[in-house]
Amino acid sequence: MGIPRTLMLWLLWTALTVPIGLVVLAVVVYGGNRSFLLIGKTTSGHHQIELACDACHTSLFGGREVLHDACVNCHGAELRAANDTHPKSKFTDPRNADRVAILDARNCVTCHQEHRPRITRAMGVTLPDDLCFNCHQEIASERPSHRGLAFTSCASAGCHNFHDNRALYEDFLNKHAGQPAQLESQRVALADFLRSRDNAIRVARPLGPADADAPASHAGDAAILADWAADAHAGAGINCTGCHTGKAEPERWIAAPRIASCGNCHANEVRTFTEGKHGMRLREGLMATREGPFGLFTASTLAQMTPAEARLPMKRDAAHNSLGCGSCHSAHRYDTTFARAEACAGCHDDPHTKAYFASPHYTLFKREAAGLAPRGTGVSCATCHMPTTEVRASDGSRSAYATHNQNDNLRPNEKMVRSVCANCHGLQFALDALADPKLIADNFNGLSSVHVESIEWAQRRLRERSNRRAQGAPQ
């Protein structure tokens, strides 16, 4: 008597399913080629790290709250710095329970779902454009200027943002009303905090080629030594072993120092680099694979981003460049003038980048680079996309660094107003320019064809309130 056919089929099913299930589970937990697990195209903000699933899915059993915590883990500081207009605490108050029932704004993933390409709009928003309607239906009765406006227009350029309204709140608009397009002083004032080439840290006796302390087997060629000797590092007394050896004992030569070496001295720059699209794969804790049982999996970090994997147009011959500190700063000649514009154009091949080299901003940058104009008056790619950021210590002392998170003030683009545009331009001029997609593509070569009315509306409301108050009428 043989084994019944049904039992045979069950055994066969089990024999196939269990190993396959275990393999899938191992890939989920420990890593490997996880691309088959992607349930939909990821957003442009996260595709770089899409195979490090546990960057967001920090628990196998987590729900919305777990995902929310992962969002806050990376984006929380940025939201706090932006004086988030809609913080979670606003919605955990029971008095807003009816609003939360309609739109659960306590969790990031209510508005920002990943892997949903068909419904994903700008800035990874996956709710319809009119989401403001859910809580602000009464706005037309409170603000006559808003009567007849569609709820799909709330987040129009120059009007409102859900999180960051630092350059759009009413008092700010009123305070900066009537500013000229070109301010009297046009320079990035914080540039004074950054060390210039002439003002670099210097030791009493700068190092020269003869002082290089690399072991003979790694002495390098004369060109490398010459580059290093002419650079700020040698001037500041940083010898070869300063970067080419780690903290481990015994001292071991590192042929190609990675980002952590740079971070030993340039902590803010490295931290912000790993927060942006160029370097987010290098963020601490992000792993391609984790150590697994029986030595089947070994821990490995994500490979550095390459232009080939970018979603913006990139130059073909730069496709396989690997993005680390040395991509823009080169290995031994840390030429920041090159890094601020030419380096970007080495990879980026979109209309905005190409148009830069025919723009008034570039003309100013060339003048500054040639020493014909004061420091901070030139406008490079980095001036806008990696602006100088002020740090204020608890003792009141001030310092600054160039943020290396190129995405920090990019979307929505009004975030750029205060950190960048306001150094040189009036608020109206800046809002109009940032609202004109064609002008942006032309890299601000010309004038905006869009006029944002926010400042006029704020001014009108200010006048109306003053008049009513003068007449003793209720507001």
Which residues contact another protein (rule: CB under 8 A)? Answer: 83, 87-90, 92-98, 100-101, 142, 169, 171-172, 462, 465-466, 469, 472, 474-475
* 390 beta partners: 400
Q: Which backbone phi and psi does 392 adopt, to 5 degrees?
A: -115, 120
First to last CA, the chain: 94
Q: Sort strands 388-392 and 300-301 into parallel, antiparallel or unpaired.
A: unpaired
Element (H, E) at 389: strand 388-392
Q: What 3-state class would DSSP assign to 391?
A: strand
For residue 231, give the DSSP letter: S
What Å distances lie between residue 303 and 48, 49, 280, 294, 418, CA to CA? 10, 10, 11, 24, 35
Closest to another protein by CB, 20 vs 81, is: 81
Closest to another protein by CB, 189 vs 267, is: 189
Of the candidates 159, 151, 112, the one whose C-alpha atom is nearest the C-alpha of residue 133 is: 151
Closest to another protein by CB, 89 vs 217, is: 89
DSSP assignment of 268-330 equals: HHHHHHTTSTTTGGGSTT-EEE---GGGS---EEPPPP-GGG-SS-B-GGGTT---SHHHHH-
| CA 358 distance to own-chain centroid | 26
Element (H, E) at 177: none
Whole-angstrom Cα Rg for the chain: 27
Is the CB of residue 408 less than 8 Å from the CB of residue 275? yes
Return the half-sphere exposure (C-beta side, CA atoms, 13 A cut-off) of residue 165. 19
Closest to another protein by CB, 4 vs 474, is: 474
Q: Which backbone phi and psi does 348 adopt, to 5 degrees?
A: -70, 135
Closest to another protein by CB, 164 vs 231, is: 164
Burial class (CB in 10 A: 0-12, 13-18, 19+), 309: middle
Shortest Cβ 83–another protein spacing (Å)? 7
Closest to another protein by CB, 264 vs 466, is: 466
Closest to another protein by CB, 27 vs 139, is: 139
> Which distant-in-sequence residues (6+ apart) come within 8 Å of 283 by Cβ?
49, 74, 274, 275
Shortest Cβ 66–another protein spacing (Å)? 17
Shortest Cβ 155–another protein spacing (Å)? 19
Is the CB of residue 258 less than 8 Å from the CB of residue 270? no
Shortest Cβ 468–another protein spacing (Å)? 9
Shortest Cβ 408–another protein spacing (Å)? 18
Its sign, for the CA torsion 388, 162, 159, 359, is: positive
Shortest Cβ 376–another protein spacing (Å)? 22
Return the half-sphere exposure (C-beta side, CA atoms, 13 A cut-off) of residue 183. 19
Rounded-to-integer distance, Cα 444 and Cα 337, Å: 21
Shortest Cβ 469–another protein spacing (Å)? 7
Shortest Cβ 170–another protein spacing (Å)? 9
Closest to another protein by CB, 411 vs 418, is: 418
Shortest Cβ 149–another protein spacing (Å)? 18
Closest to another protein by CB, 28 vs 422, is: 422
Closest to another protein by CB, 98 vs 221, is: 98
Closest to another protein by CB, 64 vs 469, is: 469
Closest to another protein by CB, 96 vs 179, is: 96
Q: Which backbone phi and psi does 173 adopt, to 5 degrees?
A: -60, -45
Shortest Cβ 133–another protein spacing (Å)? 16
Shortest Cβ 95–another protein spacing (Å)? 5
Shortest Cβ 338–another protein spacing (Å)? 36
Q: How many residues does the chain have?
A: 475
Burial class (CB in 10 A: 0-12, 13-18, 19+), 370: exposed
